[in-house]
Amino acid sequence: MPKAEFFRHFGLFVLKEFLDRACCENLIAEIRSRPLDKALLTRGLDENVRRTKETALFDSQGPSIRSKLRELKPSIERHFSLALQDCEYPPFLSYGVGDFFVPHLDSSTSPDAAEYLRQRRISIVVFLNNRRSDAPDNDFDGGDLVLYGLMKEPEWLNCGLPVTPETGLLIGFPSDTPHEVRPVTSGRRFSIASWYYSPSDTAS
């Protein structure tokens, strides 16, 4: 499975140790202790498309994580040569055994789409734990984040490239990049998501 640095060749934003191990372990402990909601799609709940759970951590570490993402915005803007307005409040995600998210886009150009989907420019994933075959307490197996369309040659467009999760690793990619989370096979996969956006009428 490709290491994070490999994805820099495709123009992705890669930041190792965006969160340190202690912070990730604290976040995991808190997520484990909270009642979790089933994650929804724009159209509501559909566990044939997406099955995972989430929490906002509004009353604890959520706002500070969003602040860290906001501090990162100038670097994201420079990297992707985009003017961005802000980032969405991040959900904290927990994928148990069998949980997944089928291939999808995080944004839409359809005039009928929700405004927030039309405004999304850059998607962010932060891994809170490692993918390991032995899956100890805070590790997991399966649950690959797979990105499609990174290789532009026609014969490779449908080839998915899985990202190797590392504790604290942040990956940023254009929100119109097809991607999926494959089913977790053991342990529990913890991550954070967010999306940097700009108004539709000023998007480049």
> Which DSSP string do the residues of 102-167 spell out, in sequence order?
EEE-S----TTS-HHHHHEEEEEEEE-S-B-SS--TT-EEE--EEE-S-S-SGGGTT--EEE---T
Question: What's the confidence (pLDDT) of residue 4?
Answer: 82
**Residue that has been written with the tokens 């494959």 in this structure:** 182
Parent domain of 173 = 4-195
- Kindly state the helix (H) or strand (E) to which residue 73 belongs, with its residue range: helix 62-80
Asked if residue 203 is part of any domain, the answer here is no
Q: Is the pLDDT of residue 95 over 70?
A: yes
Quote the pLDDT of residue 198.
96
Residue 175 lies in a domain: yes
Between 204 and 151, the more confident residue is 151
> Is residue 159 situated within a structural domain?
yes
Whether residue 200 lies inside any domain: the answer is no
pLDDT number for residue 134 = 65
204 domain residue, yes or no: no
Percent of the chain topping pLDDT 90: 85
| Whether the predicted pLDDT of 202 surpasses 50 | no
Residue 204 reports pLDDT greater than 90: no
The model's pTM is: 0.94
What CATH number has the domain bearing residue 69?
2.60.120.620
- pLDDT higher than 90, residue 155: no
Instruction: Classify residue 50: in a domain, yes or no.
Output: yes
**Is 171 within a domain?**
yes
Residue 126: its pLDDT value, please?
98
Domain count, the chain: 1
Answer whether residue 201 is part of any domain: no
